[in-house]
Structure 1
Amino acid sequence: MSYVQHDKEYARDSRYLTTRITADGRDGFPVEPGRYRLVVSRACPWASRAVIVRRLLGLEAALPMAIAGPVHDERSWTFDLDPGGRDPVLGIERLREAYLARDPEYDRGITVPAIVDVPTGRVVTNDFARITLDLSLEWTAHHRPGAPRLYPSALREEIDAVNGPVYADVNNGVYRAGFAGSQRAYAQAYERLFDRLDRLSERLRGSRYLVGDTITEADVRLFTTLVRFDAVYHGHFKCNRQKLSEMPVLWAYARDLFQTPGFGDTTDFAHIKRHYYTVHDDINPTGVIPVGPDLSGWLTPHGRHALGGRPFGDGTPPGPVAAAERVPAGHMPVRR
């Protein structure tokens, strides 16, 4: 759920369900393999964070995933990709049902990602920022051998310091521009966004990753916005000073991550475009979905290896994507 304040600046409703699933079960929900279901949409950048982290850490078996369709109405996300339009495990047609099972008076956003307790059918949490951190810190007993350390204690303070402005100015900044209710609010969001992207370019000019010499939570959070930039945010949200492909450092950085297992192989450009250009009918009333952009550039050489760094540190890349979770053919770039 989101809204526009009286001064016509976009503000995100951040009243999330903050119950946590932890190793010691202190909130009443202990980590148990197979007990919970991670509900996502590949269209959503916030959900894509959880999809990427889950794959990098090898939690596919411990935390099964439900994939909602790319569009929703005012009621909620739907499971229209599944036979009969129902999630085969939860048995529901709309994610809203799991939220109302938790609280029949629930009046906040029906958002993804959400983790549902399968035995009760109730949403445990939709706190997207905390979900990925807890996958790194609380689910360690079920990480795959060679799983990377995405939120290491020695770098945690720096990661948090990077994530704060990236969220405010970039992740949420594109929405602040796209849903601005006045020229002034739009211009302010636009300037903040590109000022931050310029700063990130400088930071990444001599460093392969945002913090340290391996992939961390910070890279995951920035990537999910960058990968949507040219396909959606540049035109649909009027973030059009430059395309990502016209910002050399960030474009190379994003391609480096895209070509790393766990990132590009979980990205569904068809779902991304269908979601934004269909659901936001106040911005795009015709519902026409752009044919472009050309995606083949995502597979071109990036040259970032010259900066050193080890994507997975002392760990290893994840294995192939499970057949049931592969992004459909035609939804990803192909080499020309």
Structure 2
Amino acid sequence: MASSTTTAYVSGQGSFERDTRYITTRITRDGADGYPVEPGRYRLIAARACPWANRAIIVRRLLGLEGVISMGLCGPTHDERSWTFDLDPGGVDPVLGIERLQEAYFRRVPDYPRGITVPAIVDVPSGAVVTNDFAQMTIDLSLEWGEYHRDGAPELYPQRLRDEIDAINAVVYKDVNNGVYRCGFAGDQRAYERSYERLFARLDELEERLTTRRYLVGDTITEADVRLFTTLARFDPVYHGHFKCNRQKLTEFPALWAYARDLFQTPGFGDTVDFAQIKRHYYVVHRDINPTQIVPAGPALANWLTPHHREQLGGRPFGDGTPPGPVAAGEEVAATGRATST
């Protein structure tokens, strides 16, 4: 998700169109783009508030890359210039030594003209952003960094399922991941209603699909589940009200809600989600949508931990692998942002 060069997020052209011109340099085993896979060389810069960054946090944890790729976390709010490291002592990232992610972008492209987005992977020796291509980033963590995966890491992008995963990801991105933004940032009634209908038509299809199968593709967690989950986790706290995606709540979709809880309760998913940061980001940063910047107190979160019974559909979350271990020291979600049982 990008910081903006202005404080306006609502589209002036009716329909919201996301700028998808990313830095597409890749980190690969052969180093074809000049950046070879190398433990300790790169730093993932993310923000727990952002769904696109949350994907990278989840995949890094599922694959056990915490000791190989370090992580810096920006705070949930930012100004018109950049995401900032206001969670760190002195507001400075302890590895990169910068206050704003913008500085790392400028080291790669002076006066970088587009949004300063997370997630981004930074080359620590040069301090320059390597890539902010969030979709390719997580796939490369699966395929290019395999030598450094933990024992028992899941296969999130298996060869035999890639065509189906890619097809699901494409429609989920268009109508759900980005669809909620097309509702929230629509500049006129017609654009909003068109996006609203597309969003809920797709959610209805996903509800039907997940009524009889535990995961989106195959019988284990894949890249497709990671991408859908981060939007579902934000649906009731943010998108339902703030973005006017209010035909119904996630909790009113029986299969989708159980599916979301199933993933949330799976190590690597819910333990990366900070609901307090999520709400603070959207309600504070989007001033043209929420000019008071009041952050809602609800919804209640304990229901995320209620039984989901999805195991009755079969499936094995990690296939022949195992769950990740405890969250790395220093990377725990703050108590204020966690779902806790009553």
TM range (shorter): over 0.9
**Secondary structure in 1 matching 2:121:** strand
**Secondary structure in 1 matching 2:330:** helix
Counterpart in the other structure of 1:254: 260
**Secondary structure in 1 matching 2:43:** strand
- In the aligned structure 1, how far is the partner of 2:84 from the partner of 2:111? 20
- In the aligned structure 2, how far is the partner of 1:7 from the partner of 1:332? 38
Where in structure 1 are there 5+ consecutive unaligned residues?
A: none
* Aligned-pair CA distance for 1:330: 2.0
**Secondary structure in 2 matching 1:330:** helix
Q: Runs (4+) of structure 1 moved beyond 2 Å?
A: 1-7
Paired residues for 1:10-89 under 5 Å: 10-89=16-95
Equivalent position to 2:14, from 4, 8, 11: 8
Paired residues for 1:88-127 under 5 Å: 88-127=94-133
Root-mean-square deviation (CA), in Å? 1.0
Q: Does residue 1:305 correspond to 2:327, yes or no?
A: no
* Aligned-pair CA distance for 1:4: 6.5
Aligned AA for 1:252? A
Counterpart in the other structure of 2:223: 217
Counterpart in the other structure of 1:280: 286
**Secondary structure in 2 matching 1:325:** coil
User: Percent identical across equivalent pairs?
Assistant: 73
* Aligned-pair CA distance for 1:263: 0.3
Alignment deviations for residues 158-195 of structure 1 (CA, whole Å, 9 cap, x no partner):
00010000000000000000000000000000000000
- In the aligned structure 2, how far is the partner of 1:7 from the partner of 1:111? 22
Equivalent position to 1:137, from 122, 126, 143: 143
* TM-score in terms of structure 1 length: 0.99
**Secondary structure in 1 matching 2:116:** coil
Counterpart in the other structure of 1:184: 190
Q: Does the CA-based 8 Å contact 2:11-2:186 persist in structure 1? A: no
Relative to structure 1, the CA distance from residue 334 to residue 6 in structure 2 (aligned partners, 3 Å threshold; closer, same or farther) is: closer
- In the aligned structure 1, how far is the partner of 2:179 from the partner of 2:166? 17
Relative to structure 1, the CA distance from residue 279 to residue 5 in structure 2 (aligned partners, 3 Å threshold; closer, same or farther) is: closer
**Secondary structure in 2 matching 1:201:** helix
Q: Does the CA-based 8 Å contact 1:4-1:11 persist in structure 2? A: no
- In the aligned structure 2, how far is the partner of 1:286 from the partner of 1:147? 45
Counterpart in the other structure of 2:160: 154
Relative to structure 1, the CA distance from residue 72 to residue 5 in structure 2 (aligned partners, 3 Å threshold; closer, same or farther) is: closer
* Aligned-pair CA distance for 1:105: 2.8
- In the aligned structure 1, how far is the partner of 2:70 from the partner of 2:95? 10
- In the aligned structure 2, how far is the partner of 1:215 from the partner of 1:47? 18
Alignment deviations for residues 48-76 of structure 1 (CA, whole Å, 9 cap, x no partner):
00000000000000000000100111100
* Aligned-pair CA distance for 1:7: 4.1
- In the aligned structure 2, how far is the partner of 1:196 from the partner of 1:216? 19
* TM-score in terms of structure 2 length: 0.97
**Secondary structure in 2 matching 1:77:** coil
Where in structure 2 are there 5+ consecutive unaligned residues?
A: none
Alignment deviations for residues 76-117 of structure 1 (CA, whole Å, 9 cap, x no partner):
000000011000000000000000010113101100000000
**Secondary structure in 1 matching 2:218:** coil
Aligned AA for 1:215? I
